Structure 1
Amino acid sequence: MKQSRVDFTKVDAALLPTIILVGRPNVGKSALFNRLIRRREALVYNTPGDHVTRDIREGVAKLGDLRFRVLDSAGLETAATSGSILARTVDMTGNVLVRSQFAIFLIDVRDGLQPLDLEVGQWLRKHASGIHTIVAMNKSESLDEHGVLTSAAGEAHRLGFGDPVAISAETGLGMAELYETLRPLFEEYMFQLPNNGLNEDDPTSEAEANEGDESKLPLQLAIVGRPNVGKSTLLNALLQEQRVLVGPESGLTRDSIRAKFQFDNRTVYLVDTAGWMERAGKEKGPSSLSVVQSRKNLMRAHIVALVLDAEKIAKSKNSVDHQEVMIARQAIEEGRGLVVVVNKMDLLRENQRLLEKVMDAVPKEIQTVIPQVCF
């Protein structure tokens, strides 16, 4: 494996080349995302006819001595009816293309080329004409025979994006070939940037640069709460971009989305956790994985933002239920900061009595059940 002429470890993270993973549902995009960032962060679950990933995930990938940003998109389904979850997902993926210079178009080589693969290819040519697209034939470990792979590669040429690369996101097969394909493309991209994108003034990482100064160290903020209280809307508002899918359907967010932004010269990592399920022990499939992932993110957070629904509070006797109390108590007992966010207050503007009820009831009840909390 030939080494790159660019030392990507010294490149400013904001200037690294960016790849978006695209393809129809269940071709292995999240599995490849996890392999490239070298940790199991995106949910991977076999759900024929359904989507596990519905939001845009982002991470810094490592492939040999290459470093680049990678975006894991939801499965593209161009025939989705207007206004459905899938149609909104396509729109979101299209919006993120402007941040990408490269795309890896995954197909499931075991299925052969599907009509939807051809539709996704047409969608890419229409919406990503300026992006260099590489076709990756995923799950190739099951087709090791030379003749079979050669035939599959010939079929993949119909997509119109040049020679495909045979890989297996699960086993790591073909990662060396993917490296050899990406290396010259990344080198050419970097050589077009001023100073090759090198951060010559301060090549150290952010954490190293701020070591000893706790006021400048990155903060981890977890946004938690029950399904449909507006966690994803809050995250999108803070980032000022449509990073997470939102809508009236329950359980839209399945992955815990991690995003970075700057506030008052300090880096904040936002985590929008999947909705806390009422019967976590009984949930199966992607929902059960979401609960496990949400709990892990709570353990890493410095600050927990507990989001409540003002409209529901106005109609009920209690401001918080048992699970919300448990989340808040856990945060306080473990020394984390707690912020209680009462969302959807705008829905009560026309009813002053209910508005005042919520504003009075929430702090009183929280201080009753969690006396350590100060207002």
Structure 2
Amino acid sequence: MTFTVAIIGRPNVGKSTLFNRLVGKKLALVDDQPGVTRDLREGAARLADLRFKVIDTAGLEDATDESLQGRMRKLTERAIGMADVSLFMFDARTGITATDAALADLLRKREAPVILLANKAEGNAGSSGALEGYSLGLGDPVQLSAEHGEGMHDLYLRLMPLLDAHEPVEAEGDIDVDVDVDLDTDGEGNTGAGLRPGRPIQIAVVGRPNAGKSTLINKILGEDRLLTGPEAGITRDSISLEIDWDGQPFRIFDTAGMRKKARVQEKLEKLSVSDGLRAVKFAEVVVITLDVTSPFDQQDLRLADLAEREGRAVVVAVNKWDLETDKSNTARRLREDFARLLPQLSGAPLVLVSGLTGQGLDKLRAAILSAYKVWNARIPTAQLNQWLAGEVAAHPPPAPGGRRIKLRYMTQAKTRPPGFVVFASIPEAVPTAYKRFLVNGLRRDFDLPGTPIRLFLRGGKNPYEGKKVKQMSALDKHKKPRRGPE
């Protein structure tokens, strides 16, 4: 069973900075503005030889109602209940505040141990403020600087006995393997084709603000794990969650709502959008979430185009379907608009769902698995060349300037997404329209709907290219070659 550590404290005391240091990556957004973190973010932490799960939480405030701050507090209290130990952090430069004292009272009521952290304790001002931590009655404060890495050894000494008491004795022959890499890749950066037992499929859920992404993921999880509400832009950074969805493991990334670039002015929103774009690049399947009340907005089309350019499998989920009254006509119009506005994703699954009621979730799961399977498709070379010969015979490429283009050979060079190489006599002369014709034919004849397809043209190498050819005189041409001894 994994040992879990939750970092608790009021806003802007440095919780996310410590979280990033423990996981060894800049996963959580960090900014001087208070209240940047809103959801619970989990990560695999390392501290010397200690391995544990760490949870970054929102800053605890006094609000207990159904306001945004109140809902954030409930999520943080839930993290405290999940944790084996809480790291209660306060700002040593500010000293103990009334909010810190109230949070200490809350933590004392819990059975799990609490380690008091005096962050920003570097320098004389920090050292004197750290001494105020004794007034909370939670033991000796650990003085550290999460930003500069000071005091981490003292934190290690406090955590080590707790982990030792928690760790079960491993049976003989058990091997503890620590894995850093999420994706198994080959030499070209492609992961192996097909589903792998126990390996989660990476999914990024993207969309405009208030499209219902977090609500949809909560319904998939079966619990209110992500912060939701009527306010637009609640989610600020990409939250990664691992789940078992009807026997298939998934890692789902909930991303911040992405607006038009011209409207993104604040530094924090720019960081949130960058975090979401990074999630798309590392995903395998991108679920583009549309609001049924305003589908296929210009920003939705940009997100779909981004996923296609990044070579990700795409599933379009039209959310809030429970609000629609004229379902049959709306569904028909949505599919027509999809085919017209996103021809580069022709055949990609479009699923009608409701994150509030759970309608269509089984179809969404099936669509994700189908898109993932197509994204991993591999076609034998013999079938490709037989198909290419038929296409060229029926629709030969044009002959620019009277030069005939020969398409000699075709093979699949990669998967994820499928990539094909065609060897041609004059590759640079093949028009873009003919390349598109071949791509559409591959989709149609090999059942590759929706997934991005990459088609590359290569030319045969000239064996005399770059070599000096000896000029033969007219007399040399008529000389008989010398015969060797018989």
**What TM-score bracket applies, with the shorter chain setting the length?**
0.7 to 0.9
Mapping of residues 1-375 of structure 1, within 5 Å: 15-47=1-33, 50-78=34-62, 80=63, 82-126=65-109, 129-143=110-124, 149=127, 151-190=128-167, 193=168, 195-196=169-170, 200=174, 203=177, 205=179, 214-216=194-196, 217-263=199-245, 265-279=247-261, 282-310=264-292, 312-313=293-294, 319-348=295-324, 351=325, 353=326, 355-371=327-343, 372-374=345-347, 375=349
Whether the 8 Å CA contact 1:61–1:68 is kept in 2: the answer is yes
Whether the 8 Å CA contact 2:43–2:53 is kept in 1: the answer is yes
Q: Taking structure 2 as the reference length, what is the TM-score of the superposition?
A: 0.66
Whether the 8 Å CA contact 1:153–1:163 is kept in 2: the answer is no
Equivalent residue of 1:326, what SS?
helix
Alignment-mate amino acid for residue 341 of structure 2: V
Distance 1:201 1:108 in 2: 40
What 5-or-longer segments of structure 2 have no aligned partner? 185-190, 350-486
Asked which structure has the greater CA Rg, the reply is 2
Q: Higher RCO, 1 or 2 (CA under 8 Å, sep at least 6)?
A: 1
Alignment-mate amino acid for residue 336 of structure 1: R
Whether the 8 Å CA contact 2:237–2:256 is kept in 1: the answer is yes
Alignment-mate amino acid for residue 343 of structure 1: N
Equivalent residue of 1:290, what SS?
helix
Between structures 1 and 2, the one with greater helix share: 1
Whether the 8 Å CA contact 2:9–2:59 is kept in 1: the answer is yes
Aligned length: 337
What is the CA deviation profile of residues 45-102 of structure 1, one whole-angstrom value per residue up to 9, with x for unaligned ones? 111xx41101000001011011100000000002x15111111111111222232100
Aligned residue number for residue 10 of structure 1: none
Structure 1 position 335, deviation (Å): 2.7
What 5-or-longer segments of structure 1 have no aligned partner? 1-14, 314-318
Alignment-mate amino acid for residue 358 of structure 1: T
Structure 1 position 196, deviation (Å): 4.6
Equivalent residue of 2:305, what SS?
helix
Structure 1 position 362, deviation (Å): 1.4
Q: 1:28 to 1:339 in 2, by over 3 A?
A: same
Aligned residue number for residue 387 of structure 2: none
Distance 2:278 2:307 in 1: 13
Whether the 8 Å CA contact 1:140–1:166 is kept in 2: the answer is yes
Q: RMSD of aligned C-alpha atoms?
A: 2.2
Q: 1:39 to 1:280 in 2, by over 3 A?
A: farther
What is the CA deviation profile of residues 278-322 of structure 1, one whole-angstrom value per residue up to 9, with x for unaligned ones? 345642132111011111111111000011111x23xxxxx3022
Distance 1:363 1:68 in 2: 46
Q: 1:219 to 1:185 in 2, by over 3 A?
A: same
Distance 1:199 1:58 in 2: 30
Structure 1 position 265, deviation (Å): 4.2
Q: 1:245 to 1:22 in 2, by over 3 A?
A: same
Equivalent residue of 1:299, what SS?
helix
Distance 2:98 2:217 in 1: 36
Distance 1:198 1:74 in 2: 41
Equivalent residue of 1:305, what SS?
strand
